[in-house]
Structure 1
Amino acid sequence: MSVLSGLFDRDGAEPSVVRAMPVILRVERDLPGRTPLLEAAAAAAVAVCLDERAQEGGEWHPLVSAWIDGRIRKVSRRARGAHWHAVQDLPGVTVSVDGASARALLPWPVDETPKTVSRLQISGTELPMDEPGPVADGVPVLWVNPTVEMTVGKLAAQVGHGSMLLAAMAEADGVDLSKWDCHCAVRLSRPGEWNPDVSWERDRAVAVRDAGFTEVEPGTVTVVAQWG
């Protein structure tokens, strides 16, 4: 089992050390597509967790397992130009989808976040809505709640939560994740089709409930992650 199995062992208590995974979104003057950027962020977040360096005995394991055992907070930041290239030197995984790129970094204690990251802006990551095509057969889907407004930065964190929870559920169900490329489609659910009341046994899906620290009310289901 991967380090993601720790998601099932948390006791719900607030950890003494606040840790967060920085998710860096590449937003140059020539803007990336909204959906490809969210898909890149979702894939990068789970790719860090499934990386062999994050498993027991690997160099990333202490940081990743301590984070998963607490709360899986993520903080999305935007970068371009030299700032984007600078974060490539920090440990993490970069994923690109249709020309859009995101890099998920190791989840440090927030008061130890490197200056290379902390100087990057959190707000202002807004991109126009797009109309992605149909989802290919067998590809997991992260369905976004159409009834609440979220910034692209907030959504990047939420789909990252979704990809992680989905991988953990699939692995526990016997899926061989070594054959998965970490890609999930991100789609805005149609209002009449949005249903957050899902179960793995019935729907092969899991709901992402937000803690409510930013933008949405506590307990809001932001994403429904469904295995392909």
Structure 2
Amino acid sequence: MRVTEDSFDAPPWAMQLVVRAEKAAPPAHSAVCAAAAAAVVRLLTDPRAADPEGEWHARVHRWESGRIRKVARRARGVRWPEVQALPGVTVAEEGAEVRAFVPGPVDEVPPELARLQVAGLDLAEDEEPKPPPEPPYAAIALNPDVPMTTGKAAAQSGHAAHLLLREADAPGLAEWIAGGPRVHVHRDIPWRRCVERAAVHVRDAGFTEVPPGTMTAIGWIVTG
């Protein structure tokens, strides 16, 4: 298990995640979490980040050398197209859109991101859970006993997908990455049984919303 927020770096580094949340048609809570998780993985597997010669590689490596802090923000209206010009990867998943940005120090956030609200993103669920996609995909579950806003849950889902990418067994990982990588956030699952079988477990540092050491999310890879 890994604690996933930076408490040692000065200043800490973080990956910013921006959720598109239009007033007229807001996305569902679980869809945002799935899109955030997929955006994190797609940025980390992008050649610009994964290739040692890639333009993003040094910043990603510096960030991963500490703790994998992520900060979720929301954008609507003109703010959403504004942030598309910044280095990152946008993912549309299950009706939600999230952009993951190349990590950097939290005191050097670009103004287009700094003006976006961090706290208060809390969205409703769809009435009926969406079925999972065809394998391979990453399955993520959030702790049903730990209330979290959508922004917090999106960051925790991103952590789970990140840990799957770095720590999952090689055969399942290769199949997942080659297939998308797609993500599905499960609802109404037998949490304790899934904890025992999960490949990764996320524990939070406790800076926001939950006590330190709280298990917030788990993840595993589903293959055909």
Name the SS of the counterpart of 2:213 in structure 1. Answer: coil
In 1, Cα distance between equivalents of 2:99 and 2:194: 31
In 2, Cα distance between equivalents of 1:173 and 1:106: 27
2:185 alignment counterpart: 186
CA contact (8 A) 2:205 2:213 kept: yes
* Structure 1 residue 140, shift from structure 2 partner: 1.9
Matching residue's letter, 1:43: A
1:112 alignment counterpart: 108
1:132 alignment counterpart: 129
| Correspondence for 1:211 among 189, 194, 205 | 205
1:17 alignment counterpart: 11
In 1, Cα distance between equivalents of 2:203 and 2:193: 10
Matching residue's letter, 1:41: A
* Structure 1 residue 44, shift from structure 2 partner: 0.4
In 2, Cα distance between equivalents of 1:148 and 1:189: 14
Name the SS of the counterpart of 1:81 in structure 2. Answer: coil
Name the SS of the counterpart of 1:41 in structure 2. Answer: helix
Bigger drift between 174-183 and 29-38 goes to 174-183
In 1, Cα distance between equivalents of 2:78 and 2:7: 39
In 1, Cα distance between equivalents of 2:38 and 2:177: 14
**Is 2:200 aligned against 1:223?**
no
Bigger drift between 178-187 and 23-32 goes to 178-187
* Structure 1 residue 173, shift from structure 2 partner: 5.9
2:36 alignment counterpart: 41
In 2, Cα distance between equivalents of 1:35 and 1:198: 19
1:5 alignment counterpart: none
* Structure 1 residue 111, shift from structure 2 partner: 0.9
CA contact (8 A) 1:127 1:152 kept: yes
* Large movers: runs of 4+ above 6 Å: none
* Structure 1 residue 36, shift from structure 2 partner: 1.8
Structure 1 stretches lacking a partner, 5+ long: 1-7
Name the SS of the counterpart of 2:89 in structure 1. Answer: strand
Number of equivalenced pairs: 215
**Is 2:70 aligned against 1:82?**
no
Structure 2 stretches lacking a partner, 5+ long: none
Name the SS of the counterpart of 1:157 in structure 2. Answer: helix
Tell me the TM-score normalised to structure 2 length.
0.87
In 1, Cα distance between equivalents of 2:193 and 2:119: 27
